[in-house]
Amino acid sequence: MRELPRGWSRSTLGDVGRYQNGRGFKKSEWAEQGRPIIRIQNLTKSSYVTNYFNGHADERHIVRGGDLLVSWAATLGVFVWDGPEAVLNQHIFKVESGLHKQYHRYLLEHTLSDLRRQAHGSGMVHVTKGRFDATPVLVPPLPEQRRIVAAIEEHFSRLDAAAASLTAAGHRIDLLESTAVNLAFADITERVPLGDLAEVRGGIQKQPKRKPTSNPHSFLRVANVKRNRLELDDVHEIELFDGEIDRFRLAEGDLLVVEGNGSPEQIGRSALWTGEIENCVHQNHLIRVRPGATLNPRFLNAFWNSPINSRQLTAVASSTSGLYTLSTSKLNRVLIPVAGSTSQARIADQLDDIRLSIDRLRAQMRVAWQRSAAMRRSVLAAAFSGQLVQQDPSDEPASVLLERIAAYRAAAKPSPRKRVTA
């Protein structure tokens, strides 16, 4: 066990704070107005749909601006509520801290990052209250907590400025790519329906009878098809029957189009098949477009993933319960620019060169983001090991603070009811 920094003490999350779980609100309790119900998706911004509760709420379930919240199921995260007075849903803790509040927030972020790493690949999707409370932490004196917070925020402000620059650079790269692609097709005015230039066919539906046994074949799914690229690290297998391999086998130059998506920006994303796997087929949620002799596959793919075509696909896609879908008949009607074979090859070459340059820029940005995240982790690791700021021997030791927290919690604990006897 390593030596503690001067004035520090060992403790647990449960000893330095109280964590109140939210209430499980039923759908029948949802209302059109009242206090917003804070759910995990509202904290992570994965959904902007808000439900409300207009009944009586216990104080322990009420959240006000500035309150510290911890999601402990599905998503492990720390949040500061910045909305109106609200009520807390289950699977989220409201934190009553005995420490410097902002220090407690950073401590939780650091601690949960360790728990997330432990959860990766383990199947753990939540942290039990007992495990959460028992998580060991090191506690510095209260004045040092304040100095640590100031140092963290100074470092993070510089990292935030760098992150803003990276985000702006990413937007500029996206604009550069879309502008280059649009310009490449801007002068081609003639358009022809895809069905006149290519064969459009659906894929194989996965069914129990197709469990791979005697005649398995590689089977591409939607997850394998990204925009302009294929991910083939996880390719499943499917059982084929007599004659099916000849009907469904992918050929080099086939365009694989994603049939449906919940996001209109992702409608019809595509990638070219270049024959990486022999005798490979695809699922029914991927549409195979096989260009004819007059259509260059790379030219088609470049146009297909262009902003021009994205608008066209969004217009023809149907939406059912938020899912945008395409079909072979709709794809057959999509208008494709017509150019000579030489012009198609030239445009495809130009856009391939541009895409390679942009891919290199994006790879550099990913490295920069990874370095930024690593620096944040390093700052927090230094903060909670006593290496970020100097210790001051005149600081009141953390042991005294922990004694005060324990005394306060003991005084606030309700006394057990005495049994009344006749």
Whole-number Cα distances in Å, 410 to 15, 228, 418: 11, 61, 18
66-75, 102-111, 291-300, range with the lowest pLDDT = 66-75
Average of per-residue pLDDT across 161-185 = 93
- Percentage of residues in the chain having pLDDT higher than 90: 77
Residue 327 C-alpha from the chain's centroid:
28
Element (H, E) at 369: helix 341-383
- pLDDT attached to residue 231: 94
- pLDDT attached to residue 363: 94
Q: Where residue 122 falls among pLDDT bands split at 50, 70, 90?
A: very low
Between 124 and 167, the more confident residue is 167
Q: Please calculate the CA angle 102-103-108 and round it to the nearest 5 degrees.
A: 100
- pLDDT attached to residue 403: 96
Q: Where residue 127 falls among pLDDT bands split at 50, 70, 90?
A: confident
Beta carbons within 8 Å of 139's beta carbon, 6+ residues apart: 8, 9, 10, 11, 16, 99, 398, 401, 402
Average of per-residue pLDDT across 351-357 = 92
Tokens coding 219:
């089977």
pLDDT above 70 (res 418): no
Distance between CA atoms of 10 and 145, rounded to whole angstroms?
15
- pLDDT attached to residue 321: 59
Q: Where residue 323 falls among pLDDT bands split at 50, 70, 90?
A: confident
* Mean of the per-residue pLDDT values of the chain: 91
Tokens coding 253:
């130059």
Average of per-residue pLDDT across 119-132 = 68
146-155, 165-174, 189-198, 408-417, range with the lowest pLDDT = 408-417
Q: Where residue 416 falls among pLDDT bands split at 50, 70, 90?
A: low
Average of per-residue pLDDT across 380-404 = 96
Average of per-residue pLDDT across 169-184 = 91
Domain 190-338 sits in CATH 3.90.220.20: yes
Residue 418 C-alpha from the chain's centroid:
52
Among the listed residues 308, 330, 309, the one whose alpha carbon sits nearest the alpha carbon of residue 319: 330
Among the listed residues 257, 273, 269, the one whose alpha carbon sits nearest the alpha carbon of residue 328: 257
pLDDT above 50 (res 422): no
- pLDDT attached to residue 114: 78
Summarised one tens digit per residue, pLDDT across range 83-106 is 999 999 999 999 999 999 999 999
Pick the CATH number of 9-141+391-412 from 3.40.1180.10, 3.40.50.720, 3.90.220.20, 3.40.50.2300: 3.90.220.20
Report domain extents, the chain. 9-141+391-412, 190-338
The type of residue at 79 is F
- pLDDT attached to residue 372: 96
81-85, 122-126, 315-319, range with the lowest pLDDT = 122-126
Distance between CA atoms of 105 and 77, rounded to whole angstroms?
10
Tokens coding 373:
């995240």
Average of per-residue pLDDT across 36-50 = 89
- pLDDT attached to residue 115: 76
3-17, 41-55, 247-261, 308-322, range with the lowest pLDDT = 308-322
Q: Where residue 322 falls among pLDDT bands split at 50, 70, 90?
A: low
**pTM of the entire predicted model:** 0.75
Q: Where residue 398 falls among pLDDT bands split at 50, 70, 90?
A: very high
Average of per-residue pLDDT across 341-360 = 94
Do residues 269 and 145 touch, judged by C-beta distance below 8 A? Answer: no
Average of per-residue pLDDT across 217-221 = 96
pLDDT above 70 (res 177): yes
Same fold, 9-141+391-412 and 190-338: yes
Q: Concatenated DSSP letters for 186-203?
A: HT---EEEGGGTEEEE--
- pLDDT attached to residue 314: 86
Average of per-residue pLDDT across 196-218 = 94
Q: Where residue 421 falls among pLDDT bands split at 50, 70, 90?
A: very low
Distance between CA atoms of 365 and 19, rounded to whole angstroms?
38
- pLDDT attached to residue 169: 95
